[in-house]
Structure 1
Amino acid sequence: MPIWKRNLLICWFGMFVTSVGMSQIAPVLPLYIKHLGIDNSASIAQLSGLTFGITYIISALFSPIWGMAADRAGRKPMLLRASLGMAIVIGLMGLAQNVYVLLGLRLLQGVITGYSTACTTLIATQTHKEHAGWALGTLSTANIAGGLLGPIIGGGIEESLGLQNVFFLTGALMLIAFLMTLFWVKESFTREGKEMLGVKAIWQRIPDKNLTIVVSLTYFIITLALYSIEPVVTVYVTQLTTDTTHVALLAGMAFSASGLANIIAAPQLGKLSDRFGVQKVMLIALVVAAVIFLPQAFVQDPWQLMGLRFLLGLAVAGLNPSINILIKKITPSALTGRVFGFSISAGYLGVFGGSVLGGQVTAWWGIRSIFFLTSTLLLFNAVWVYFTIYKKLNKQEEALFQQGRSGETLDIPAEVQ
């Protein structure tokens, strides 16, 4: 097996487990906070929101820092640091004696994250461009699937093995990811440049700043849209069914349907990006996702919701690999880790923002309104992508095609060569 394929397999497992570790606490958090001695329901709700959200906010701040460290020290050291650190911190959560210790450990979890940034950078820099779409598409399924399946996994462990074992088992999986990375991930790293660059200097060296902004904001909107339903999916399923004994199971299935679809479709859509152009796949996926959000507001039973969530996952699967391929194209290799860090920060902010948005919009205008709002956001994003990415890259590809036919030398930006 080629080294890049073996690294891809190990990174996929590590990113999946990391994403599960970030999100598995969602369904058990209120129960665990109550277990730690908080009895007031209002206090439990407030502390649950703070404890869940703080990891993503801190991760958004630290992802660019770890991306910079990956560019300077290598990607494998960052993988080892993050996986071992997460294994220890998540395991310690199961030993927390009060809610403030738990809150502190969740904050520390956000600080030491960076596994996804290092993995994405490693695969992007090791993989030849003809396989980049498939590789990054495959890798992108890990974060999405882990984030969507994490709450189901956490809830299942809690129900069958108890609250504390949620943290112990997740920590053990992270330890396995650390050992796999230590013994099997191979990297031949050569540092490019010796100077320490600040954010301003990094920004000045990015060739296409507008594309970088659009790509990062698109990633933010995608994750915001996906996670906007998270805080209210159980409530919605409750409204759609009279079977009150299986609400949790039905909600879990509805929540996880898009994650399953993403796992199936992302590698194939990554291949289509390699073949037909990343800008085409991104634009079509945005429009289709926006359209699929609308009928979710009109479903009459949980199974209709599951089917539409599955179709949504198929569409969204084309977005994450497209974003990563674009970053790879428009970013100098010496800055790849840092720019991936910025984009992943945008994703973390989208997770947090989506969770907050879903709850607030539902409280003000009702649960079905969240689907209309999210669809509108995606459509606006599609229009923006059309004018800022689609037309620009199509024009550049046409120029390259004409260059090949005429044999003339044209001044084409390096990122599309």
Structure 2
Amino acid sequence: MELWKRTLYVCLFGAFMASVGLSQAAPLIPLYLQDLGVHDQGSLANWSGIAMGVTYLMVALVSPFWGKLADRKGRKLILLRASFGMMVTNALLGFAQSPEHVVMIRILNGMVSGFFSGSITLVATQTPESRTGWALGLLSAANLGGSLLGPMIGGYMGSTFGIRYAFFVVSALLGIAFLSSLLFIKEDFTPKVKGPAPSFKDLQQSISNWKGLIFVSIASFIFAFTTMASAPILSVFVQHIVGRGHEHIALLAGLAFTSTGIAQMLASSVLGRYIDKLGPQFILWTSFIYVGCLTIPQAFTDSIIVLCIIRFLLGFGLGGLLPGINTYIASITPKHLAGQIFAYNQSTLFFGYFMGAVGGSAIVSQWGFSTMFIVTGMIIALTGVFLKVTLGRTTTASH
């Protein structure tokens, strides 16, 4: 098997398991906090929000540091660090004795994570240029699959083995990802002589299409912000549609979430092939416009069936965004700076996720669900128009 393919397959497994490790806590943390003595509904909501949110915030803050280290010491080292670190932090969660312990461990979890961003950099630098879009599409699908199945896996293991043991099982699976990366990934990398890390000015001089990179980074933030804006309140929106007394609200909300994710996962690898044929710019601006046009109709639906259909169709457009963003960045970035650039973009994404969760809820609380869907839909569609105008004037570079 060719080296780049073996690297890709190991990264697919590792990215899936790392995503499971991050997302499986979603249904477990509130229940775990109850076991640790938090019973007041308001306190439980606050502790749960803090425990979930700090992980993503820490990922955004530390990603640039890990990216610089990847460019200096190699990308395989980052994969080993992330898989081993998440293995340890998930195991530590099983020993937590208080809400404060949970939050502290979740902070550590965010600090040591980064398997997916490291995988993007490694795959982008090892894969032949003609197959980059396809490979990054598969990687996005694996990451998304882990985030979709993580809550289900966590919930199942928590109810079957107990919440503490669920963390231990995920820790063991991350240990397998660590061993797979250690044994099967080969990287031809010469460590750099220690010196000052490139400044923003150095990066700007090294990347011929700096404006294109800035435009795509803006698009990354908007993608994360607008897609996360509806996530915290989607269950409430479903309740708004079917009525507060409906006995299957949780199931229907789960279907609304999952319908988008399944379509997105299916579309990622397919659209990745079209990225290789048509170029990332075309897939990016068309996907943004498509997603924007399908976000707005959610404001006017009063049927859960129609909502799930719209969100399923929405997923096909979302499936082209991250592969398109990552392929475009790979095409304009010198390989010796790939780790740092992808890490900065990862920070942009996670800040977008963090701000979207806060901003979407604020819009709903002030102006209602319809306004939130209309505003975010218009922002996404206008971003597509913006990319059509701006990226059409830029060119990619080979390195």
Name the CA distance, whole Å, in 1 between partners of 2:237 and 2:313. 18
- Paired residues for 1:104-183 under 5 Å: 104-183=104-183
- Kept in 1: contact 2:263–2:312 (CA 8 A): yes
- Kept in 1: contact 2:296–2:378 (CA 8 A): no
1:204, CA displacement in angstroms? 4.0
Name the CA distance, whole Å, in 2 between partners of 1:94 and 1:244. 35
**Given the alignment, which residue of 261, 271, 279 partners 1:277?**
279
Q: Residue 91 and residue 203 in structure 1: after superposition, are their counterparts in 2 closer, same or farther (change >3 A)?
A: farther
Match of 1:28, SS state, is helix
Q: Which moved more, 1:312-321 or 1:296-305?
A: 296-305
For residue 307 of structure 1, what is the aligned residue in structure 2?
Answer: 309
Name the CA distance, whole Å, in 2 between partners of 1:176 and 1:382. 40
Listed as ranges, the gaps of 5+ residues in structure 1 are 397-413
Name the CA distance, whole Å, in 1 between partners of 2:294 and 2:17. 29
Name the CA distance, whole Å, in 1 between partners of 2:233 and 2:59. 24
1:193, CA displacement in angstroms? 6.6
Name the CA distance, whole Å, in 1 between partners of 2:160 and 2:255. 18
Q: Report Cα offsets for 1:117-150 as digits up to 9, x if no partner.
A: 2111110000111111101111112233333443
- Kept in 1: contact 2:290–2:381 (CA 8 A): no
For residue 334 of structure 1, what is the aligned residue in structure 2?
Answer: 336
Q: Residue 362 and residue 18 in structure 1: after superposition, are their counterparts in 2 closer, same or farther (change >3 A)?
A: same
Name the CA distance, whole Å, in 2 between partners of 1:157 and 1:373. 39
- Kept in 1: contact 2:80–2:181 (CA 8 A): yes
Q: Residue 145 and residue 124 in structure 1: after superposition, are their counterparts in 2 closer, same or farther (change >3 A)?
A: same
For residue 5 of structure 1, what is the aligned residue in structure 2?
Answer: 5
Listed as ranges, the gaps of 5+ residues in structure 2 are none
- Kept in 2: contact 1:67–1:114 (CA 8 A): no
**Given the alignment, which residue of 368, 371, 379 partners 1:369?**
371
Q: Residue 145 and residue 224 in structure 1: after superposition, are their counterparts in 2 closer, same or farther (change >3 A)?
A: farther
User: Are positions 1:51 and 2:51 aligned together?
Assistant: yes
Q: Residue 160 and residue 361 in structure 1: after superposition, are their counterparts in 2 closer, same or farther (change >3 A)?
A: farther
TM-score (norm 2): 0.93
Q: Report Cα offsets for 1:231-270 as digits up to 9, x if no partner.
A: 1122222233368333222211211222211221111111
Name the CA distance, whole Å, in 2 between partners of 1:23 and 1:199. 34
Name the CA distance, whole Å, in 2 between partners of 1:367 and 1:216. 27
Q: Report Cα offsets for 1:358-415 as digits up to 9, x if no partner.
A: 22222222233321121022022112212221x214xx5xxxxxxxxxxxxxxxxx71
Aligned-residue sequence identity (percent) comes to 39
Match of 1:322, SS state, is helix
Q: Residue 371 and residue 26 in structure 1: after superposition, are their counterparts in 2 closer, same or farther (change >3 A)?
A: same
For residue 386 of structure 1, what is the aligned residue in structure 2?
Answer: 388
Name the CA distance, whole Å, in 2 between partners of 1:362 and 1:165. 37
Name the CA distance, whole Å, in 2 between partners of 1:147 and 1:135. 19
For residue 190 of structure 1, what is the aligned residue in structure 2?
Answer: 190
Kindly report structure 1 stretches of 4+ aligned residues shifted beyond 6 Å: none
Q: Residue 358 and residue 163 in structure 1: after superposition, are their counterparts in 2 closer, same or farther (change >3 A)?
A: farther
One-letter code aligned to 2:293: V
- Kept in 1: contact 2:288–2:380 (CA 8 A): yes
Q: CA RMSD in A?
A: 2.0
Q: Report Cα offsets for 1:157-204 as digits up to 9, x if no partner.
A: 334443223322222221111111111112121346753314333344
- Kept in 2: contact 1:216–1:346 (CA 8 A): yes
For residue 327 of structure 2, what is the aligned residue in structure 1?
Answer: 325
1:111, CA displacement in angstroms? 0.9
- Kept in 1: contact 2:285–2:383 (CA 8 A): no
Name the CA distance, whole Å, in 2 between partners of 1:359 and 1:29. 21
- Kept in 2: contact 1:152–1:252 (CA 8 A): no
User: Are positions 1:75 and 2:57 aligned together?
Assistant: no
- Kept in 2: contact 1:145–1:262 (CA 8 A): no
Name the CA distance, whole Å, in 2 between partners of 1:159 and 1:51. 20
- Paired residues for 1:16-27 under 5 Å: 16-27=16-27
Q: Residue 152 and residue 295 in structure 1: after superposition, are their counterparts in 2 closer, same or farther (change >3 A)?
A: farther
